[in-house]
Structures are given as C-alpha cells and as structure tokens.
Amino acid sequence: MASGQLIQAQAQLEQQLSHPDSPQGELALVGAGPGDAGLLTLRGLQVIQQAEVVLYDSLVSADILELVRRDADRICVGKRAGQHSTLQEEINQLIVKYTQLW
C-alpha cells in the first residue's frame, strides 16, 4: 500500500472508531439456575455487576437482584400463571431499544 493510501486508511479507521454510525450495546443471557445466588457462575456475576440494564423474570430471586449493579435499570418482564406478564414481542422491543442506546 502506498504511503498516501495508508495515511488515508488510518484516518478513515480513526473516524469510524470515534463516530460509529449506529452504536450498539451488548446482550448477555445469564441463567440463574435454581435461584441460589451462590450458584451463579463467576462470569454471570461479572455480567450482572457491569450491566446498565437488567431485564429479569419473576423466577429470579431477590438475592440475585441484590448483586446487580446499584445504578442499573431493573425491568421485570416476568411471566407467571395468573399474573400480568410481558409479551415476548414487548421483551424483544425492550432488548432492541436498550442495545441501541448503549
């Protein structure tokens, strides 16, 4: 590659990295197992402590929710028989919304 092309390529790369067209966040699914906070994997714990938004269902225990980052948005999308539940389409829309914000 010629010197001028390398400089131009570096400038384009730097611009794309500093101004992404469509910023996207990450989605992580963390299984809570039987609900005992002591049984979370280390990686699962790291993920919920770093998350800015946590969507959780009604099977997630209060002990596990206590481990979520204090300033994270917590949104219950729980499903239980006989109780109001969030439709899967609404959950999908929330996922898209929040991954586009971060």
Looking at the annotation, which residues are catalytic?
Answer: 57, 79
Six token digits for residue 41: 């994997």
Six token digits for residue 22: 């469509």
SS3 39: helix
**CB of 35 closer than 8 Å to CB of 61:** yes
DSSP state of 37: G
